[in-house]
Amino acid sequence: MAIARMGWDELRQSVAGCNACALCQGRKQAVLGVGDASADWLFVGEGPGAEEDARGEPFVGPAGKLLDAMLAAIDLRRGEDVYIANAVKCRPPNNRTPEVAEISACAPYLKRQIALLQPRLIVLLGRAAAHAVLGNVGPLGALRGKPFEYPASECNGRRIPVVVTYHPAYLLRTLPDKAKAWEDLCRARALMRMEKASAAESPVGPAGPLAP
């Protein structure tokens, strides 16, 4: 079955057996994602680390604890209206940043996750996540604060606002940039409020593209 037509169960099975790039050779298990399958919020990281590879869930190490704190700061909780995925589903060696070819190999899976989720907002955590969703559009520092959208043609005609910020693992190494990440999260929260307000005012019925 083509990835573009898969449901969640088929997608999970396909990712578990994927050998589209060399990352599959060193994994313990592939990590599809975790969270609410009807979430308004989608957070996309870079790739699984050692703990994620062992447990099969993204963001469970120190960076995961920081992500949970970031979510809590804007009144969110993992698994409650939040879905967390990665640009690549298998751990890169030594937790390095995924390479362009690896991101490309995994892109159909992330694209299908977005199509199934139909989130109201996407938050990209780190350069690899930005590359996976937006393409090679420049260094991460230059992407912060800029308006981006996930193409409506890829999500049943709905445009999805995209916010780019730093990866939690980077923030653990670069504490001064936590203030910048907080600015990004506040912007994301404001965008979400606008999206929900617009949906509530829309004349489109429950079956329409803005249905919750």
Per-residue pLDDT tens digits for 36-45: 999 999 999 9
User: What is the per-residue pLDDT across 136-153, written as a single tens digit (0 to 9) for each?
Assistant: 778 888 899 999 999 877
d(C-alpha 66, C-alpha 26), whole Å: 26
pLDDT above 80: residue 179: yes
Helix (H, G, I), strand (E, B) or coil at 148: strand
d(C-alpha 164, C-alpha 88), whole Å: 17
User: What is the per-residue pLDDT across 86-105, written as a single tens digit (0 to 9) for each?
Assistant: 999 999 998 898 999 999 99
Helices assigned H by DSSP within the chain: 8-16, 50-55, 62-73, 100-117, 127-134, 140-143, 168-173, 178-201
Contacts of 186 (CB under 8 A, 6+ apart): 74
Beta bridge partners of 148: 162
pLDDT above 90: residue 156: no
pLDDT above 50: residue 208: no
159 by Cβ neighbours in 10 Å (0-12 / 13-18 / 19+) ranks as middle
Per-residue confidence band for 203, with pLDDT thresholds at 50, 70 and 90: low
pLDDT above 50: residue 206: no
> What length does the chain have?
212
Note the pTM of the prediction, 2 decimals.
0.91
Per-residue confidence band for 210, with pLDDT thresholds at 50, 70 and 90: very low
The order of strands in the sheet holding 33-35 is 33-35, 82-86, 41-45, 121-125, 160-165, 148-150
